[in-house]
Chains A and B, each alone.
Chain A
Amino acid sequence: MKLKLHIWRQKSTQDKGKMVTYEVDGIIEDMSFLEMLDVLNEKLILNEEEPVAFDHDCREGICGACSLTINGIPHGPEKETTICQLHMRHFKDGDEIYVEPFRARAFPVLRDLVTDRTAFDRIMQAGGFVSANTGGIPDANAIPISKKDADLAMDNAACIGCGACVAACKNASAMLFVSAKVAQYAYLPQGQTERKRRVLNMVAQMDREGFGNCTNYYECEAVCPKGISVASIALMNRDFLRASLSEEKALDR
Chain B
Amino acid sequence: MTLDSKIPSGPLAEKWDRHRFDMKLINPANKRKYSVIVVGTGLAGASAAATMAELGYNVTALCYNDSARRAHSIAAQGGINAAKNYQNDGDSIWRLFYDTVKGGDYRSREANVYRLAQVSNNIIDQCVAQGVPFAREYGGYLDNRSFGGAQVSRTFYARGQTGQQLLLGAYSALMRQVGLGKVDLYTRHEMMDVVLVDGHARGIVARDMVTGKVQSFAADAVILATGGYSNVYFLSTNAIACNVTAAYRAYKKGAAFANPAFVQIHPTCIPVSGEHQSKLTLMSESLRNDGRIWVPKKKGETRNPNDIPEDERDYYLERKYPSFGNLSPRDISSRSAKEVCDEGRGVGPTGYGVYLDFRDAINRLGRDVIEARYGNLFQMYERITGEDPYQVPMRIYPALHYTMGGLWVDYNLMSTIPGLHVLGEANFSDHGANRLGASALMQGLADGYFVIPYTIGDYLAKSGGGEKVTTDHPEFKKAEEDVRARIGKLLDLNGSRTVVSIHRELGHIMWNYVGMARNEEGLKKALEQIPKLREEFWENAKVVGDGESVNQALERAGRVADFLEFAELLVYDALNREESCGGHFREEYQTEDGEALRNDEDYAYVAAWEFTGVGEKPILHKEPLEFENVKLQTRSYK
Which residues of A line the B interface, CB within 8 A? 11-12, 28-32, 34-35, 38-39, 41-42, 44-46, 48-51, 53, 55-65, 78, 81, 85-87, 89, 110-112, 114, 116-118, 120-121, 124-126, 128-135, 137-141, 144-147, 150-151, 153-154, 157-158, 160-161, 184-185, 187-188, 190-191, 253
B133 with A121: CB separation less than 8 A: no
Q: Which residues of A contact B127 (CB under 8 A)?
A: 140
Contacts A64-B70, A111-B550 given; indicate if A146 touches B75 (C-beta within 8 A).
no
A134 with B274: CB separation less than 8 A: no
Question: Which of B161-169, B334-342, B360-368 interfaces with chain A?
Answer: B161-169
Contacts A121-B68, A134-B51, A154-B133 given; indicate if A59 touches B240 (C-beta within 8 A).
yes
B66 with A55: CB separation less than 8 A: yes
Q: Which residues of A contact B545 (CB under 8 A)?
A: 50-51
6 pairs of residues in contact across A and B, judged by CB atoms under 8 Å? A32-B384, A35-B277, A44-B544, A50-B553, A63-B65, A118-B66
Q: Does B449 contact A (CB under 8 A)?
A: yes
Q: Does B511 contact A (CB under 8 A)?
A: no
Taking the nearest CB of chain A, how far is it from the CB of B528, in angstroms?
27
Contacts A59-B278, A87-B384 given; indicate if A144 touches B65 (C-beta within 8 A).
no
Q: Which residues of B contact A116 (CB under 8 A)?
A: 66
B239 with A63: CB separation less than 8 A: yes
Q: Does B202 contact A (CB under 8 A)?
A: no
Contacts A35-B277, A49-B544, A150-B133 given; indicate if A118 touches B187 (C-beta within 8 A).
yes
Q: Complex formed: what's the CA distance from A238 to B574 in Å?
A: 61
Question: Is chain A's binding surface mostly helix, strand, loop or mixed?
Answer: loop
Query: Which among B69, B86, B386 has the highest number of chain A CB atoms within 10 Å?
Result: B69
Q: Which residues of B contact A118 (CB under 8 A)?
A: 66-67, 187
A34 with B278: CB separation less than 8 A: yes
Contacts A116-B66, A144-B139 given; indicate if A125 touches B133 (C-beta within 8 A).
no
Q: Which residues of B contact A157 (CB under 8 A)?
A: 132-133, 158, 164-165, 168
Q: Does B10 contact A (CB under 8 A)?
A: no
Q: Complex formed: what's the CA distance from A160 to B161 in Å?
A: 11
Q: Does B501 contact A (CB under 8 A)?
A: yes
Which residues of B line the A interface, CB within 8 A? 47, 50-51, 54, 65-70, 72, 74-75, 84, 86, 122, 124-142, 158-159, 161, 164-165, 168, 171-173, 175-176, 178-180, 185, 187, 210, 239-241, 273-274, 276-279, 281-282, 380, 383-386, 449-450, 453, 496, 498, 500-501, 542, 544-545, 549-553
B123: nearest residue on chain A (CB-CB)? A140
A38 with B500: CB separation less than 8 A: yes
12 A-B pairs besides A117-B66, A129-B176 with CB distance below 8 A are A32-B384, A46-B542, A62-B164, A65-B66, A125-B176, A132-B126, A134-B54, A137-B128, A146-B136, A150-B135, A157-B164, A184-B131
B158 with A154: CB separation less than 8 A: yes
Q: Complex formed: what's the CA distance from A55 to B240 in Å?
A: 11
Taking the nearest CB of chain A, how far is it from the CB of B157, in angstroms?
11
Taking the nearest CB of chain B, how far is it from the CB of A250, in angstroms?
13
Q: Complex formed: what's the CA distance from A174 to B124 in Å?
A: 31
A60 with B380: CB separation less than 8 A: yes
A30 with B274: CB separation less than 8 A: yes
Taking the nearest CB of chain A, how far is it from the CB of B16, in angstroms?
14
Taking the nearest CB of chain B, how far is it from the CB of A247, in angstroms?
22
Q: Which residues of B contact A78 (CB under 8 A)?
A: 383
Contacts A53-B550, A85-B380, A185-B131 given; indicate if A133 touches B54 (C-beta within 8 A).
yes
Taking the nearest CB of chain A, how far is it from the CB of B620, in angstroms?
35
> B124, B137, B175, B549: which contacts A12 (Cβ < 8 A)?
B549
A63 with B550: CB separation less than 8 A: no
B70: nearest residue on chain A (CB-CB)? A63
Q: Which 4 A-B pairs have the closest CB atoms?
A: A144-B140, A125-B179, A129-B172, A111-B550
A58 with B51: CB separation less than 8 A: no
Q: Which residues of B contact A53 (CB under 8 A)?
A: 550-552
B161 with A158: CB separation less than 8 A: yes
Q: Complex formed: what's the CA distance from A130 to B128 in Å?
A: 10
Q: Complex formed: what's the CA distance from A67 to B551 in Å?
A: 17
A121: nearest residue on chain B (CB-CB)? B67
Q: Complex formed: what's the CA distance from A116 to B542 in Å?
A: 28
B544 with A45: CB separation less than 8 A: yes
Q: Complex formed: what's the CA distance from A50 to B491 in Å?
A: 12
Taking the nearest CB of chain A, how far is it from the CB of B65, in angstroms?
7
Taking the nearest CB of chain B, how far is it from the CB of A139, in angstroms?
6
B384: nearest residue on chain A (CB-CB)? A87
Query: Which among B126, B128, B135 has the highest number of chain A CB atoms within 10 Å?
Result: B128
B139 with A191: CB separation less than 8 A: no
Q: Complex formed: what's the CA distance from A62 to B76 in Å?
A: 9
Q: Complex formed: what's the CA distance from A234 to B634 in Å?
A: 59
> A32, A121, A147: which contacts B138 (Cβ < 8 A)?
A147
B386: nearest residue on chain A (CB-CB)? A89
> A11, A42, A89, A138: which contacts B125 (Cβ < 8 A)?
A138
A64 with B69: CB separation less than 8 A: yes
A29: nearest residue on chain B (CB-CB)? B386
Taking the nearest CB of chain B, how far is it from the CB of A137, in angstroms?
4
A156: nearest residue on chain B (CB-CB)? B133
Taking the nearest CB of chain B, how far is it from the CB of A128, in angstroms?
6
> A11, A85, A144, A190: which contacts B130 (Cβ < 8 A)?
A190
A42 with B187: CB separation less than 8 A: no
B86 with A120: CB separation less than 8 A: no
B550 with A114: CB separation less than 8 A: yes
Q: Complex formed: what's the CA distance from A131 to B165 in Å?
A: 17
Q: Which residues of A contact B137 (CB under 8 A)?
A: 147
Q: Complex formed: what's the CA distance from A151 to B450 in Å?
A: 29
Q: Which residues of B contact A59 (CB under 8 A)?
A: 239-240, 278-279, 281
B128 with A190: CB separation less than 8 A: yes
B159 with A154: CB separation less than 8 A: yes
A137 with B75: CB separation less than 8 A: no
> B50, B140, B164: which contacts A145 (Cβ < 8 A)?
B140
Contacts A64-B69, A146-B140 given; indicate if A87 touches B278 (C-beta within 8 A).
no
Contacts A131-B176, A137-B125 given; indicate if A57 touches B70 (C-beta within 8 A).
yes
B549 with A51: CB separation less than 8 A: no
> B86, B124, B129: which contacts A130 (Cβ < 8 A)?
B129
Contacts A53-B552, A63-B74, A161-B69 given; indicate if A132 touches B129 (C-beta within 8 A).
yes
